[in-house]
Amino acid sequence: MKYFILILTIAALTSIVLGFTLDLEYSQKLIGFGVTGLFLIVFPLFSFYRWKDKNPKDYMLTKENLDKMRKREGDNRK
């Protein structure tokens, strides 16, 4: 999955760069497809890949997590 995301990212960035550098009729379309590919395909795949095995509740500011943070802060002061 990691290499698939990397290949799609390189393809999208290449499309954007070619759209800016080449003087073709469809240069605007190359830029548009590159940007669309990044934001509608690459970014959601990357987010899913990075959050796949993680619990979102571990990153929320709940009372329990705040208490754990305060306890750790108190332990570090000693």
In the chain, what are the domain boundaries?
A: 2-76
Q: Give the model confidence (pLDDT) of 10-42 as tens digits.
A: 999 999 999 999 989 999 999 999 999 999 999
Burial class (CB in 10 A: 0-12, 13-18, 19+), 40: exposed
| DSSP summary character for residue 39 | I
The answer, as to whether pTM is greater than 0.85, is no
HSE-CB for 59 with a 13 A CA cutoff: 4
Burial class (CB in 10 A: 0-12, 13-18, 19+), 11: middle
pLDDT at 56: 80
Q: Which residue has the tokens 């605007």?
A: 28
